[in-house]
Structure 1
Amino acid sequence: MSSEPVPRGAAPAYDDAEKGVRELAPPVQPMPSYPADEKKDPFANEKVALAVTTIPVPEKKETPAAPPAKPAPKPKKKVSKWILWQLWFNTYRKLFTFCFSINMIAIGLAASGHFPYAVKYNGAMAVANFNFAILMRNEIFGRLLYLFVNTLFAKWTPLKFRLGCTSVLQHLGGIHSGCAVSGVAWLVLKMVHIYDARHINHVSILTVGLLTNVAVFLTACAAIPWVRNTHHNVFERHHRFIGWIALFLTWGFTIMSDIYDTDTQTWNLDGKHLVKQQDFWYVMGMTLFIALPWICTREVEVDIELPSPKVAVVRFRRGMQQGLLGRISRSAVKEYHAFGIISEGTHAKYHYMICGVQGDFTRSLVNDPPKTLWTRELKFAGVSNTSTLYKRGIRICTGTGIGAALSTCIQSPYWYLIWIGSDQEKTFGPTISGLIHRYVEPERLLLWDSKLRGGRPDTMKILKEVYKSWDAEVVFITSNYIGNSEMMQGCKEAGIPCFGTLWDF
């Protein structure tokens, strides 16, 4: 597929239309009717004479009627605090709370002298937590975990168990952040112990240990939800590059701490002693988990279709299984952005990503379409990858969310697609529309054009009707923050199992 020039006229925006705003034109007044042949009017002469002798009266101008007011928005439905609490304290926060609480109890016991092992091996406790944190974000581990669950527990296990599996897999980030924060706390405890015994420790160990603490702390701060969601490039650059610096410093801090003999205050350069230490192998594991995904990074040729100035459809070679996401960048190591993957299956010739124009990176794809992009050949699994666990399901999405939703409905005849957008065919182009109409049968497809239908639909009414008629077990949602929250709240209130978009909190 060759790149096409950007159309001169921008496609109509779908964001406002989806909010339900509809401009109504004032009604057209019918024109008054007159006789077909005015020349045969028998009173024509009298009218002329009257016009000559009568004082003209100025016509009264009618004030044009004001256009009808816009329909008032529907009052926002109140949601119970219990439902809001359940949605807030989700599996992510439960996993974070569990990991963090266990570590805080252990740190408290170690600080009070009731956990001798942790006092002696507090460095190992720190890097062990970092090991788990990094492992949870490793694409290879994630794919293996999804494969294990999807292979062993699909369809035959109780629905609650399968829902639990999906929830845990989707929220593995809770373990990542819980262990990472705990690792920082253990590292601080180790530094406190070294400082207390500074008279028997070498000053270089104190220095490198302090630098390691600072680097790890900055890496963690860069991943604070507010920074990650509002300043993505700041998060990525600092979390990645300062994180790599922290890894090198951790190597130095670990090796120096292990080979320095505090009894004789000399350096033990015997390698046999070093490889017997727990923290040495934990740091080796951290390094391996960080390096493995980068081994799969490649620069690949792409074709970019520009159906409208607000969307770029990027085409890659080879097919993909459903439920995967890919990271792409113009650089080998900077500014990677994740998008859902659309493909007919592993046998297909191509797969696609829909990149909606939102920031500098996606805007550059439209204004200056590249011939190549950097990507990781090994894609990571998203929540849709667990769709194979369920007998029947619903995939609802808005706008560019079709990129994460479509593969599931293309590759499985047991999934119903609901797509809410504005002028979808013109905005997203013939490639995406062709895939939908070619592989998704009309009986399991609902396309809502908010421009044509005058606004966004009552999504919960549609979801309840389709959930019942389709005999679905679960609903997967991909929408913006507000739409996602509304649908999640409505499904929770209606007792419909659902999973929505994550912003990694």
Structure 2
Amino acid sequence: MTTVVSIDPAPAYNDAERGTLDITSRLPVASSYPDEKKANLVVAEVIPAKKDTPAPAPKPVSKPPKHKPSAWTRWQVWFNTYRKFFVFTFSLNMIGLGLTASGHWHYPLKFPGAFILGNLQVAILVRNELFGRFLYLTCNTLFAKWTPLWWRLGCTSVLQHLGGIHSGCAVSGLIWLLYHVVNLFRAMHSYNDSVLAFGVATNFVVAAAALSAFPWIRNNHHNVFERNHRAFGWLGIIITWAFTILGDLWDVNTRTWNLSGVHLVKQQDFWYIIMMTTFVAIPWICTREVEVDIELPSPKVAIVRFKRGMQQGLLGRISRHPIKEYHAFGIISEGTHSKYHYMICGVQGDFTRSLVNDPPRTLWTRQLKFAGISNTSTLYKRGIRICTGTGIGAALSTCIQSPNWFLIWIGSDQEKTFGPTISGLIHRNIEPERVLLWDSKVRGGRPDTMKILKEIYHSFGAEVVFITSNYVGNFEIMHGCKEAGIPAFGTLWDF
């Protein structure tokens, strides 16, 4: 199956696409449990009911009292590395812009492309799948297990939050572009009308691409983001090419066109736009239409099976169309030696619903997958992967492929909802002593998650916790881990 991805930043996805949609099925209960003594947890016993006898109502689990984290804890979780990167890159650019506008720095006036296209180039580069995989591979190869824990945690944090650099550089590039066009109009008598017109058009298109990527739009109207951000992104590349070439060929001193190719290739911004286009094109070259098999264990979930195995910690994007919106899901595989890998698609929205109502025989995808937070699991000696609902799609490979990771999966009617394929992968590959499957329907509700997490963290000897849950669950666990002094990384909602 082939996944296609946006030419621009990796998008923020809704719960189903993230693999974090909590699913409640009305199908019968079938669950399995770990060795309760290993984790010192009280586990409800499941007694199958006779065929004609209704199962007794489960004893409700007492809900833990709501704990409100301190303001300092909330601030630490909120002001994460993503925001730090954004503040750093944006502030640095704005200092430079201030020095330029005040007349203390003249270089940006002479070479505006270095700041406009340079920022946009970096924004695209840090979202490029090939560049990201290179960074993950480098860190996992050089620093796994032997380096101090604080260093490995720092590597994970930097890799997970590179989007802050993307956002900071993209917004800064737009502001530099606006400043440059304003300067062109201040001296409009020296420029050809075509240069001015394409300057305005470039500003409009780049601004539209940035606006479509605002968090509220990305998280609440994902298809709008996907279609518009990609369309304006490609259009922006084309118009930026025109604006760059026209600006480089126009001689301000003689007010004539200098059509020399030698003059053009000597310009900084000409090479910046070439690099931008290359970074954008590389992932699309890997786009393919592939055959898929779709299993429908329940009306709420589609299990998509692809050929060939994958390493753990990767995500892929899929679509019914080679150009239209793409949707990202975690990849489950038993390893690179395996014949197949899988994606769990929880039904939420038109695309995922269509996988259930009208299962396709082929899908478009990128053969070059992008790395997620789980890919850094090899840095740690032991860890915990906790997830809820369809978050198992992003978490399972890590625990399958590494004997040093503990799986906690909280959901409802898990085996019936997600089917025998997912259950089989768990039971074949993960020993009972390092898995806890909590069926909230059987056990009468959700567990005291932090109590369980703390006990397993200490008894298992974990160094870090990776979380894949919905928005509320993610931040509850993040806040709890921060207060307990447990290193944890949770699902990101792009800011």
Q: TM-score range by the shorter chain?
A: 0.7 to 0.9
Counterpart amino acid of 2:192? Answer: H
Match in the other structure for 1:341: 331
- The C-alpha deviation readout for 1:388-433, integer Å capped at 9, x for no partner, is 0000000000110000000000000000001111111110000100
Out of 142, 156, 161, the residue aligned to residue 152 of structure 1 is 142
Cα separation, 2, equivalents of 1:243 and 1:113 = 33
SS in 1 for 2:467: strand
2:26 aligned with 1:12, yes or no? yes
Match in the other structure for 2:87: 97
2:441 aligned with 1:451, yes or no? yes
Match in the other structure for 2:237: 247
Preserved contact between residue 314 and residue 354 of structure 1 (Cα < 8 Å):
yes
SS in 1 for 2:200: helix
SS in 2 for 1:369: coil
Note closer, same or farther for the CA distance 1:359–1:151 as it changes in structure 2 (3 Å cut). Answer: same
Match in the other structure for 2:492: 502
Match in the other structure for 1:209: 199
Preserved contact between residue 64 and residue 448 of structure 2 (Cα < 8 Å):
no
Counterpart amino acid of 1:118? Answer: P
2:427 aligned with 1:460, yes or no? no
2:316 aligned with 1:302, yes or no? no
Cα separation, 2, equivalents of 1:232 and 1:78 = 31
Q: Offset at 1:148?
A: 0.6
SS in 1 for 2:184: helix
Match in the other structure for 1:376: 366
Note closer, same or farther for the CA distance 1:444–1:75 as it changes in structure 2 (3 Å cut). Answer: closer
Match in the other structure for 1:479: 469
Cα separation, 2, equivalents of 1:320 and 1:91 = 29
Note closer, same or farther for the CA distance 1:199–1:172 as it changes in structure 2 (3 Å cut). Answer: same
SS in 1 for 2:189: coil
2:132 aligned with 1:142, yes or no? yes
Q: 5 Å matches for 1:26-45?
A: none
Match in the other structure for 1:131: 121
Preserved contact between residue 123 and residue 169 of structure 2 (Cα < 8 Å):
yes
2:253 aligned with 1:263, yes or no? yes
Preserved contact between residue 63 and residue 446 of structure 2 (Cα < 8 Å):
no
- The C-alpha deviation readout for 1:72-126, integer Å capped at 9, x for no partner, is 9654212100000001100000000000000000001111111111111112210
2:160 aligned with 1:170, yes or no? yes
Preserved contact between residue 418 and residue 447 of structure 1 (Cα < 8 Å):
yes
Cα separation, 1, equivalents of 2:450 and 2:64 = 14
Preserved contact between residue 63 and residue 448 of structure 2 (Cα < 8 Å):
no
Match in the other structure for 1:488: 478
Preserved contact between residue 139 and residue 380 of structure 1 (Cα < 8 Å):
yes
Preserved contact between residue 131 and residue 285 of structure 1 (Cα < 8 Å):
yes
Counterpart amino acid of 1:361? Answer: F
SS in 2 for 1:427: helix
2:96 aligned with 1:121, yes or no? no
Counterpart amino acid of 1:12? Answer: R
Counterpart amino acid of 1:120? Answer: K
Cα separation, 2, equivalents of 1:402 and 1:299 = 26
Match in the other structure for 1:350: 340
Cα separation, 1, equivalents of 2:463 and 2:27 = 34
SS in 2 for 1:103: helix
2:378 aligned with 1:388, yes or no? yes
- The C-alpha deviation readout for 1:158-205, integer Å capped at 9, x for no partner, is 101100100010011000000000000110111011111111111110
Cα separation, 2, equivalents of 1:145 and 1:272 = 36
Counterpart amino acid of 1:102? Answer: L
Preserved contact between residue 309 and residue 341 of structure 2 (Cα < 8 Å):
yes
TM-score, normalisation: structure 2: 0.88
Preserved contact between residue 85 and residue 168 of structure 2 (Cα < 8 Å):
yes
Out of 234, 238, 250, the residue aligned to residue 224 of structure 2 is 234
Cα separation, 2, equivalents of 1:125 and 1:346 = 42
Cα separation, 2, equivalents of 1:107 and 1:77 = 45
Match in the other structure for 1:53: none
Cα separation, 2, equivalents of 1:11 and 1:309 = 8
Preserved contact between residue 308 and residue 340 of structure 2 (Cα < 8 Å):
yes
Preserved contact between residue 205 and residue 235 of structure 2 (Cα < 8 Å):
yes
Cα separation, 2, equivalents of 1:192 and 1:504 = 30
Q: 5 Å matches for 1:297-336?
A: 297-336=287-326
Cα separation, 2, equivalents of 1:124 and 1:349 = 47
Counterpart amino acid of 1:90? Answer: N
Match in the other structure for 1:43: none
- The C-alpha deviation readout for 1:33-52, integer Å capped at 9, x for no partner, is xxxxxxxxxxxxxxxxxxxx
Counterpart amino acid of 2:25? Answer: A
Match in the other structure for 1:224: 214
RMSD: 1.6
Preserved contact between residue 420 and residue 448 of structure 1 (Cα < 8 Å):
yes
Match in the other structure for 1:63: none
Cα separation, 2, equivalents of 1:215 and 1:13 = 49
Q: Offset at 1:206?
A: 0.5
Preserved contact between residue 13 and residue 422 of structure 1 (Cα < 8 Å):
no
TM-score, normalisation: structure 1: 0.86
Cα separation, 1, equivalents of 2:64 and 2:440 = 17
Match in the other structure for 1:442: 432
Counterpart amino acid of 1:172? Answer: L
Structure 2: state its 5+ residue gaps: 1-23, 29-59
Q: Which runs of 4+ in 1 moved over 6 A?
A: none
Match in the other structure for 2:16: none
In the alignment of these two chains, the number of paired residues is: 443
Preserved contact between residue 123 and residue 186 of structure 1 (Cα < 8 Å):
no
Match in the other structure for 1:427: 417
Note closer, same or farther for the CA distance 1:232–1:106 as it changes in structure 2 (3 Å cut). Answer: same
Larger Rg: 1
Cα separation, 2, equivalents of 1:301 and 1:196 = 57
Counterpart amino acid of 2:432? Answer: P
Q: Offset at 1:258?
A: 0.6
Counterpart amino acid of 1:99? Answer: T
SS in 2 for 1:199: helix
Note closer, same or farther for the CA distance 1:72–1:439 as it changes in structure 2 (3 Å cut). Answer: closer
Out of 399, 404, 418, the residue aligned to residue 408 of structure 2 is 418
Match in the other structure for 2:99: 109
Q: Offset at 1:503?
A: 1.5
Preserved contact between residue 465 and residue 489 of structure 2 (Cα < 8 Å):
yes
Cα separation, 1, equivalents of 2:145 and 2:63 = 42
Preserved contact between residue 111 and residue 119 of structure 1 (Cα < 8 Å):
no
Counterpart amino acid of 1:202? Answer: N
- The C-alpha deviation readout for 1:222-267, integer Å capped at 9, x for no partner, is 0000010000011111111111111111111111111101111110
